[in-house]
Amino acid sequence: MKQMRGIIIAIFMAVISAPAALFAGAGAPPHLTDNYIISFGPRLDAIPGDPSFFLPINVSFSQPTVRINLILTYDPTIVTPVLLAPNIFVQGFTYDLSHTGRIRLVIITDLPPPPDIPPISGDTTVAWIMFRITTRFIGYDFLTTIGYFEDPGTPAGDNFIVLEDGRIYMQPVLVLIDGEILVRLPLYGDINLNTLPWEIGDAVTFLNFFMGAAFTRQQYANADCNRDGVQASISDLVYLLRVISYDSLEAYRPGIGFAEYRESAGTPARAGLLSGSDGHCDIALETSDEISGAAFTLDLGQAAGSVDEVFLYPEAGDMQLAYSVTDNIMRIAVIDWSGQGDPIGDGRLLGIRYSGDVSPTIMAADYSDAAGFPIEATASIEYASKGIENAPAVSGLALSGYPNPFNSVAALHLTLPADGHYELSVFDVLGRKVKNLFDDYRVAGSNDIIWDGTDDVGAGVCSGTYLVRLKGSTGSSTIKLHLLK
């Protein structure tokens, strides 16, 4: 009798500890043909170093449902959730990421007061989870799952749904299907995606990227040739060329030195000077290291003219140069293509001759040592024809951003000297446009613009350095913003 009394008391305490409204009608069985399923769609592929990716939360409900309670589990050593977002209009959407390895989610459609929101019914995606890959040091393809957590200390269960008529369903009536994320090991060095890494074709494809060609997600991952976690940098291209030149993969792992350089096979050709150019500037370097590769992104200003010539100075030794100009943005790559030359140090590196109203300014620069790893250096522009070291400042036009670094939202403060047409755009470090914040007529004065870390299609961009350029009829101003997620 005492044992029976204890069971009755335990049941009573479990019932009164849960919200009474949830358990109204909970005992009514489902119809034999009903389905109540929560899943995450087909297996999702992801790549270390990839920008954040989205995993859908899909449901299939035969009867109208007004509440979904879930506690999801994940492996924090492989993936990290960034945020959750509803895919349908609901009255209540709350989530908690504070407990490592778990995601608590509650979706409600019947909260008072009105408006009256239709319950969830049929097959639909109710929400999205944004993840990023936690680790980049993975030596093989790895399958990880998104599962469901049931706390044994919760009397009524943690994963359940509430129907419009008040019935509550949990397992086994509620079918919970795990999600799968396959983290694929990048094929480092396979830039042209032909499954054969460390070929000259990979180097050509990589160089085209520095001239403005787009990369896919897989190419970005494969382009982290030196495994430093920074994808598609000039040091990765130098690393790739060293591997191709010496035909030895073992010698080019991070932290291992290179073989002694071979004699140079030749000297790169240099074009003659153009007499028609009325403007001339040089890019000079100051560094305590020796440089074997450099990449620059230059803003040409209003560019009511043209670039006539880009050439290397003798101080560049056996380096070779490639450049392109798109939408007033110049991209330059200077690199020892043979993998056999001597590194360079301080001094003039290259010159630019131009005609008309061109005023080059450095937006971004990236440097590599002979081993294919990033190094620090300072580049300056010397305007030989104008006798000044920096581009002339535009009086009254100013741009600043805060906080910097920022996590999700940055405020850009603008000062416009006069009424006119202005453009505010965000670029990546290679000068490719990420987002156009505005391109229209503006009145003089100061105002703030918010950038929420998304591109032109609304997708979140990955962590890194971005260039924000304010351009008007009288000139331009560019700042760097650092996004840290």
Is residue 394 within 8 A of residue 414, CB to CB? The reply is no
With tokens 């002979």, the residue in question is: 370
Which residue ranges make up each domain of the chain?
Answer: 17-183, 200-252, 279-383, 398-483
Q: Which fold has domain 279-383?
A: Immunoglobulin-like (2.60.40)
Across the strands, what pairs with 285?
A: 347, 379
Strand partners, 281: 352, 383
Residues 162-183 pLDDT 10s: 999 999 999 999 999 999 999 8
How many Å apart are CA 77 and CA 391, to the nearest integer?
A: 47
| C-alpha–C-alpha distance, residues 276 and 284, integer Å | 24
Residue 370 amino acid letter: A
Residues paired with residue 173 on neighbouring β-strands, in sequence order: none
pLDDT (tens digit per residue) in 98-132: 999 999 999 999 888 877 789 999 999 999 999 98
Mean pLDDT score of the chain, rounded to an integer?
A: 78
**Domain 398-483: which CATH class?**
mainly beta
3-state secondary structure of 65: strand
Contact 474, 391 (CB under 8 A): no
What the block records as the tokens of 27 is: 């005992």
CATH class of 17-183: mainly beta
Give pLDDT tens digits for 359-401.
788 888 888 887 777 888 888 888 764 433 334 444 467 788 8
Task: For residues 330 and 374, give the distance between their C-alpha atoms in angstroms, rounded to a whole number.
Answer: 21
Spatial separation of the C-alpha atoms in residues 201 and 193, rounded to whole Å: 10
Q: How many residues does the chain have?
A: 485
Is residue 19 predicted with pLDDT exceeding 50? no
